[in-house]
Structure 1
């Protein structure tokens, strides 16, 4: 019983680590109101978008994927950057295209600016349309942790039969307010809605959690994962980790690679760089300080590894997040 409780607690700690990622900053928020037939082609390349059906129904169709039907109370989360269709029916031809930055055009490229405006953060045919969706979009990659994005499918949905969120009426009310600080209020509500939805998703049997998350239940690999996650700055070696886990180096390397999908040191490097990316985004700490916090001997060593992993320097990453 104690062992089961420990495994459950470890899984919950790992889930908390995933869910602490969403931090919206000036997210794109809108209430979409339509009468059939309607169809939107989404090409905004946003890392994550949440769609909550308040009234009526809708279909979300990823390119090359199967349509997901949503009804009132249902929710879908689309992971970018691949495009998808949001419509009353998969066969309805797109009437508008949503581009990066929230720019809207007709399918022929003409601007839609102002054409479908219905008031504060409201858009579409008419306010009392038969279909109403609340849509929130994280505009930049830095607002969502990379480890969380990697853990999600391109499109997931939750029906009202398996989840109920008390935030829906609050978000619907706050969406159309135009008061000082309203953008910050909506950002935090979007974060809470996203966290509630993802927590419900990860509790579902169809959710495909990442390999390292599932591996936490293993008595050997789970212990090693917790060691490196809890103390990334420690100068770990495979021998150190194997000794802590009570197995040989070869046994640990083989078991870790089988369950996690990569060697222990490769995982440790990825974990350290993910932490560095988050701290560059969320703090004013110097690169030297962050390097020490995540286990690199110098700012130069961190910068070199960071650029190999993400294709940009730490300074460029921080500037983009800002």
Structure 2
């Protein structure tokens, strides 16, 4: 089917799982300046990283698979936590290793953070280097984020012609002005949205049914309604009426495009939202139940246990232990 034209409303629906989970809030953003030969081993275990080539070029060597060429203006998205290498050439020996906690060392463990510090959000081996990279890392820990990350490949690259945001982000990253973190967070989000929309429109992306279905005038409307108001007591009949079609037509079309019936999709979405809400220490089961459309805490607990195999309290305990 043709690639859907995705409006801002659809982004809020289909990509909210990514951008309300990974929405940059002080995300780690760094400008790296280098001159060949250079090679960086990234072992920070970040769930998601965006790398934009501002000047020059290089290669990305994923944990598995062949090296991929990066040209000026290209943007790579890497799904962690597997390590990867960025280099001017696939054969260049590693010069620096980036560890969790934004710590960098030489391959033998000598500290590099201060030695390679080049000023505001800028780091590298040569302040006048011919290669400039922008790297933004997101820390994702929500169920909604995982749902989207599960359909992304370990590495995807968007070409320069598709992404006019790279020069804008590059111009802002080294500034140190009031509100600058918020500006950078929003620009990084926009860049990530652009890359993902571009990727999902490609045949090789094999975009999930729920994403492709947003381009359908009937099912897209139904999905937006469910995402906008998951707590409403939807039925197939009421959803069909809101979408302007018959109950049978909606059920058939929705199942065909999304891969599951409307109410099954709604249940999964509600429980995914509930799983994220339960991560908040102050959130009560009753409050979460109301927010996701269950009349009582018992009803939410029963559905959660039936679908996910654990009770909400067990889920919360597991998340606390893994935090």
Show the 5 A alignment for 1:141-290: 141-142=141-142, 145-165=145-165, 168-215=166-213, 225=223, 228-234=226-232, 246-247=247-248, 256=255, 259-261=257-259, 266-277=264-275, 286-290=284-288
The aligned counterpart of 1:132 is 132
CA distance in 1, matches of 2:116, 2:9: 44
Q: Counterpart of 1:198 in 2: which secondary structure? A: helix
Kept after mapping to 1: 8 A contact 2:55/2:72: yes
Structure 1 312/200 Cα, relative in aligned 2: closer, same or farther at 3 Å?
farther
C-alpha distance after superposition, 1:186-237 (max 9, x if no partner): 2222122222332333334443311222345678876765664454335567
1:159 CA displacement: 1.2
TM-score, length of structure 2 as denominator length: 0.76
Kept after mapping to 2: 8 A contact 1:59/1:67: yes
Runs of 5+ in structure 1 lacking a partner? none
Structure 1 319/279 Cα, relative in aligned 2: closer, same or farther at 3 Å?
farther
Range moving further from structure 2, 222-231 or 27-36: 222-231
- 1:18 equivalent in alignment to 2:14: yes
1:314 CA displacement: 4.6
CA distance in 1, matches of 2:259, 2:128: 50
Range moving further from structure 2, 211-220 or 304-313: 304-313
1:283 CA displacement: 12
CA distance in 2, matches of 1:10, 1:159: 19
Show the 5 A alignment for 1:33-48: 33-48=33-48
Show the 5 A alignment for 1:50-69: 50-69=50-69
C-alpha distance after superposition, 1:99-156 (max 9, x if no partner): 2222223323443332221122111111210111011111343498333323422211
TM-score, length of structure 1 as denominator length: 0.77
Range moving further from structure 2, 53-62 or 307-316: 307-316
1:33 CA displacement: 1.0
1:81 CA displacement: 1.7
CA distance in 2, matches of 1:185, 1:281: 27
Q: How many pairs were matched up?
A: 311
CA distance in 1, matches of 2:133, 2:215: 39
Q: CA RMSD, aligned part only?
A: 4.1
Range moving further from structure 2, 207-216 or 121-130: 207-216
CA distance in 2, matches of 1:164, 1:9: 18
CA distance in 1, matches of 2:293, 2:120: 47
1:64 CA displacement: 1.2
The aligned counterpart of 2:290 is 292
